[in-house]
Structure 1
Amino acid sequence: MKKYLKTGLMSSILLLSFLSSCTKEDSVFTDGGSAGIVELELPARTTSTVYAVKSLSFTAQEEVDFPVSINYTGVNGTPSDVKIAVEVNNSAVTTYNAASNTSYTPLPNELYTATSNEVTIPRGTKTGIFLIKLKTGSFDFTKSYALGITIRSTSSGTVSGNYGTGIYRVTAKNNYEGSYRVTGWFFHPTAGRAINAVKTLSTTGKESVSAPLGDLSGYAIEFSINGSKLEAYKPLGSTPTGLNSGFFTADQPGVSPTWINNPVSADAPGKGPWVVSTYNNSYDETAKTFYLAYGYVASGGSGQSSWSRQIYEKWVKQ
């Protein structure tokens, strides 16, 4: 019995010694099972994607900061100042396009500046910043830009095999983009109804946006903002084209012999509050508010006097 107890005791001591040595080795830098890994801060990627992709949107202006975070895994941060060599690598965008059947445009050199290609993560911390300045005010809004970024080397730790290179989709948004509380009325010969919803204006250009049409799915319009005036109406999606849709410049109550509304007590277009003198296709910059009056007919239109679907809307930015 003593022999067995002695043998068991020795085995336990050896096991504890082994576990202790492992704990001391792993506790210096351990984060999810990885130690001292230098990586770009990116969404998780799968084995089927060559690089992880992160999408970011910036206000369109002369220059805007784009801070790219670089992380050093570990419970206590870096053991000393870590110097990391990082650079824009737009060949990665080309590689990603070929592998993923996408068509991102590598951001041209004249549209960005990297402030430095060396990033320092100070001792005891976990994150450094690779700062890029984007000239978003000069972006071509018809293109889908992307930047490839690669960590080339590190003075301590190991560059991540999964997140050492990443793709950053960068888009510019104008000052009008955002969520709006939209109220108004959708006049229809047989199905008039109130509009009360939160809708989104999306950037299409430096001074232009797209908007959902009324409460219809798949219908939209585009317009530009010139001071207080809304101009350059354009139908999108399923919205009828040509003379079949557009902005109103006058009230057109005579288009339809009936305007059946829910509730039935609602006014007709051109009556009560629903007048183009109020909903005058304008923008109030101080109140961040749009007033819209537009309409359409499915086909055979000859201009606004033929549009039997008429929408009056007030958009207030949230």
Structure 2
Amino acid sequence: MKLSFKIAGLFVMAAAFSSCLKDDITLDPDKSTNVIEFKNPSSFVSPSGSTYSMYSKSFDLAPEADYAITVSYSGAQVAPEDITVTLGVDTAAVTQYNAEQEEAFDVMEPNLYTIPATVVIPKGQRTSQVLIKVKPSQFDFAKNYVLPIQIKSASSGIVSGNFGTILLALKAKNIYDATYESTGYVYHPTAPRAVHAEKHMETVSPTTVKVELGDLGGSGYFANVTVDPKTNKVTITPAAGAAGAPYTQFDTALPTPYTPQWDNASKANNTYDPATKTFYLRYGYMGGNGWRVTEEILVRH
């Protein structure tokens, strides 16, 4: 009796394991079944275990941009004939991803992209490229766009259960969005210190980027830095949900009782130099026992 229970248990485990595998898997590559799927197109951003894989891509703020992705006949064999792959979008995939991951991504509106209806993987080949056209200058910066591209069908072969639909998180980036080298100083009543780090300034709007305040990003301190393209003067405000708000910028001098503590303090006048792609910042917030002020010069890599 005990033996029969053990055998039954093994069958249940085996069935459960096989049900988790969407695509046919074999230990012998020469006997594996090919599947038609999307190859990883860019940076992978979805967490492990997601039903759908998400990839992130940013575009310069231009009227139109191309995004090339690849459809693959994946496995041991090449395509035995021309395979016509029909493409489309699966908006339900975004709804499911949002529910699973507690996110709030927006399905990209059809007027913002163009995808071909079909693509052909030629006989004897393994891949074919799909050219997606997007319109970054028309993106709404208040939205988190996702394009859920799907292989709807194929003239022959098996469509992958794992990568037959992928989610493309697409963003537009302004001219200030980049990685910068930050050098400066944090004025603090009890913990003054120098700052030297690499920082990414991330697009918020066509003229605004988000950046870590001093060295306090790990504690939730982030600022929105907005450039006036006509004057190159900078306005600094707390980023959405940032700690320590409100923030105050000091264009001409440090607040009392501070005095300059590094060589380039006088340059931190809240401006942007487009010729050198450099930000000169001085701003801070009031803490329980006085001002905390960051002066820094950020030079684009």
Compute the TM-score of the two structures, normalised by the length of structure 2: 0.78
Q: Is the contact made by 1:38 and 1:73 (CA closer than 8 Å) also made in structure 2?
A: yes
Give the partner amino acid of 1:81.
Answer: D
* Secondary structure of the corresponding residue to residue 94 of structure 1: helix
Residue equivalent to 1:311:
294
Q: State the alpha-carbon separation in 2 of the partners of residues 46 and 282 from structure 1.
A: 39
TM-superposed CA distance for 1:272, in Å, is: 5.6
Distance 2:287 2:46 in 1: 45
In structure 2, the residue matched to 1:298 is 287
Q: 1:271 to 1:59 in 2, by over 3 A?
A: closer
Q: Is the 8 A contact 2:79 2:123 kept in 1?
A: yes
Is the partner of 2:87 in helix, strand or coil? strand
Q: Deviations over 1:117-141 (max 9, x none)?
A: 1101123221112221111121111
What is the percent sequence identity of the aligned residues? 34
Secondary structure class of the residue paired with 1:54? strand
Q: Which residue of 1 aligns with 2:148?
A: 148
Q: Counterpart of 2:245?
A: 240
Are residue 181 (structure 1) and residue 172 (structure 2) matched?
no
Separation in structure 2 between the aligned mates of residue 32 and residue 166 of structure 1, nearest angstrom: 27
SS in 2 for 1:229: coil
Distance 1:96-1:199 versus aligned 2 partners, 3 A rule? closer
- What one-letter code is carried by the residue in structure 2 that aligns with 1:247? Q
User: Matched residues in 2 for 1:163 and 1:45: separation?
Assistant: 13
**Stretch deviating more after TM superposition (130-139 or 228-237):** 228-237
For the 8 Å contact 2:250–2:282, the answer to whether it is kept is yes
C-alpha offsets along residues 57-91 of structure 1, whole Å, 9 cap, x if unaligned?
22222111122221102345222322111112323
Could you say which residue in structure 1 is the equivalent of 2:265?
274
Amino acid at match of 2:260: P
Distance verdict in 2 for CA 1:161–1:193, change over 3 Å: closer
CA contact (8 A) 2:45 2:56 kept: no
The one-letter amino acid paired with 2:224 is E
1:249 Cα deviation after fit: 2.2
Task: Give, in whole Å, the separation in 2 of the partners of 1:181 and 1:150.
Answer: 40
**Is the 2:60–2:173 contact (alpha carbons within 8 Å) kept by the matching residues of 1?**
yes
CA positional deviation for 1:221 = 0.9
Aligned length: 266
Say whether the 8 Å CA contact 2:45–2:55 is kept in structure 1. Answer: no
Match of 1:71 in 2: 72
* Counterpart-to-counterpart distance in 2, 1:195 and 1:100: 35
Q: How many Å apart are 1:187 and its aligned residue?
A: 2.2
Q: In 2, Cα distance between the equivalents of 1:290 and 1:79?
A: 57
* Equivalent residues of 1:240, 1:299 under 8 A apart: no
Q: How far, CA to CA, are the matches of 1:190 and 1:46 in structure 2? A: 40
- Secondary structure, aligned partner of 2:287: coil
Give the TM-score taking structure 1 as reference length.
0.75
Residue 94 of structure 2 is matched in structure 1 by 93
Instruction: Indicate how the Cα distance of structure 1 residues 246 and 163 shifts in structure 2: closer, same or farther if over 3 A, else same.
Output: same
Counterpart contact for 1:240–1:298, Cα < 8 Å? no
Larger radius of gyration between Structure 1 and Structure 2? 1
Decide whether the 8 Å contact of 1:39 with 1:71 is kept in 2.
Answer: yes
Residue correspondence of structure 1 range 1-318 to structure 2 within 5 A: 34-42=32-40, 49-114=50-115, 116-216=116-216, 217=218, 218-227=220-229, 229-236=232-239, 237-241=242-246, 245-252=247-254, 255-256=256-257, 259=258, 268-269=259-260, 273-275=264-266, 278-298=267-287, 308-318=291-301
The CA deviation string for residues 28-58 of structure 1, in whole angstroms up to 9 with x for no partner, is xx85863231012246999964322222222
Q: In structure 2, how many angstroms separate the alpha carbons of the residues matched to 1:292 and 1:44?
A: 31
Contact conserved, 2:187 with 2:292, CA < 8 A, in 1? Answer: yes
User: Where does structure 1 lack aligned partners over 5 or more consecutive residues?
Assistant: 1-29, 260-267, 301-306
